[in-house]
Amino acid sequence: MNVANGGEQASCSSRVGDLGENHVHNRQGSTNGCRVNVGHLPVLCNVPSSDANLSHTHEFTNRNFDQCHGNALGDLDLPRFSDCHKQNVVHFFAELDSYFDLKSVPELLKLPLAMKAVTDCYTKQWCTAIYKDLADYEHFKRALTDLLWSAQIQSRTRCTVYQDRYDKNKADTMSAHFLRYSVMAAHLSPRLSELDLIDAISGHFPPYVQRAILSANVRTIQEALSF
């Protein structure tokens, strides 16, 4: 019985040795969480515990989110102020502030970047003339807004919104005309309510259009544009 047991143990040791050799010779690819063939038996090697695996997954997700987020931010272009007659300076600064926030731009760099963003010829000359007197970016914002969106300019804009008329001989459709004046009035201070704005712009159109807008009970800009 002891001899037999000894023979069986030797046989088992031999088989275990063969499996060990197969483990070495049949290993394929990386062992970082990969499958390793031991003969015909698939074995998982270097598999972390469930907690470690969860932590690794979170790490991988966060790293990839940061990379994707960084790539998306890298695609953002610096807003440009290229035409003082067609662009509203308040809207430009809103876009520029959003850009600075998303890019986490330091305060010291905001003023140079803002100056770079201005490409309109008249405004660029003004910026060059007063640059040495500017304390910081906020000072620049106030100065340029006072120049291009002063109380007098807003007053003229308000008059335009109330007094202009739609010209069917121009390229604008009625909806495009309505939208253009809605945008023009968007940054007035104090702002017009939607009902007041609809009433003002409706007066640009012929009486039959005004009656149609009134009978449809249009109360928002979106409803007016869809009318």
Provide the pLDDT confidence category of residue 75 given band limits of 50, 70 and 90. confident
pTM of structure: 0.63
Secondary structure class of 35 (helix, strand, coil):
strand
What does the domain layout of the chain look like in residue ranges? Answer: 89-149, 152-226
Provide the pLDDT confidence category of residue 56 given band limits of 50, 70 and 90. low
Mean per-residue pLDDT for 172-183?
Answer: 92
Enter the tokens of residue 107. Answer: 């305060």
Q: Kindly report the average pLDDT of the chain as a whole number.
A: 79
Q: Is the pLDDT of residue 171 over 60?
A: yes
| Nearest to 83, CA basis, from 50, 121, 134, 47 | 121
CA distances from 220 to 120, 166, 200 (A): 34, 20, 13
Q: Is the pLDDT of residue 89 over 50?
A: yes
Enter the tokens of residue 80. Answer: 């440009």
Secondary structure class of 36 (helix, strand, coil):
strand
Q: What pLDDT is stored for residue 172 in this prediction?
A: 83
Do residues 87 and 116 make contact, with C-beta atoms less than 8 angstroms apart?
no
Mean per-residue pLDDT for 134-150?
Answer: 97
Q: Is the pLDDT of residue 178 over 80?
A: yes
| Nearest to 100, CA basis, from 150, 49, 136, 56 | 136
Residue type, 107: E
